[in-house]
Amino acid sequence: MIQSIKTPFSIAGLLFITVLAFMRCTNATSAGNNANSTTGAATTGNSADAASFSAIVDGTPFSANTGTDNLNAAFRVKDDKGIRLFFMLTNPENPVQKFNFDLPDHIGSTTVSILPKESFEGYINKDMVVYLSDGVTINLTSMSATRISGTFSGRYKLENEKTANAKPSIQVTDGKFNIPFSTSASWKKMYHAQ
């Protein structure tokens, strides 16, 4: 089942959030791994808060085993279609390369294709080249009050076909994630999340 998803986030908005997250991660790293959760610090040592994901992007592994209050953490966001899940998967120490997901809030499989006019990037590579979901299947296999896990794979299409030296499409395989729901009041407020 292919669904086009409208989202309240624009490319500029998500890039702004990425920069904020990077600044928070940099500050948290200098403060140590056990910093207060309101700082956006990477979570360590607590299996209930641990976050991880991995995927193969055009043959190259991409993964992380930490998260912050914003990155590798899920949010429940209400929109005109009801409650949805939103999350970004990235390396918190260098959050430029990332996957963005916006899914129905239920267990099961969803295939996502985004039209460029809807301005939602599915994947941004390390050179900040934007790709849109073009038949990406996400299978949410487990969901509790505190965390979600699942798998993903599929194709991403270059948003701007005139981008120099960029592949027209990329293939992602063997994607997996196991992340907590964010408990940060400030990030929930920014995303209008529950």
* Termini Cα distance of the chain: 27
Query: Can you tell me which residue has the tokens 């966001």?
Result: 77
Asked if 52 and 63 touch (Cβ cutoff 8 Å), the reply is yes
How confident is the model over 90-109, as pLDDT tens digits?
Answer: 999 999 999 999 999 999 99
Does residue 102 form part of some domain?
A: yes
Residue 43 included in any domain: no
pLDDT in tens, 11-64: 444 444 443 443 344 333 333 333 333 333 333 334 446 999 999 999 999 999
Domain count, the chain: 1
pTM of the entire structure? Answer: 0.76
Q: What CA–CA distance (Å, rounded) separates 192 from 155?
A: 29
| Domain that residue 76 falls in | 2-38+51-191
Does residue 81 sit within a domain?
yes
**Rounded to an integer, what distance in angstroms lies between the CA atom of residue 120 and that of residue 79?**
15
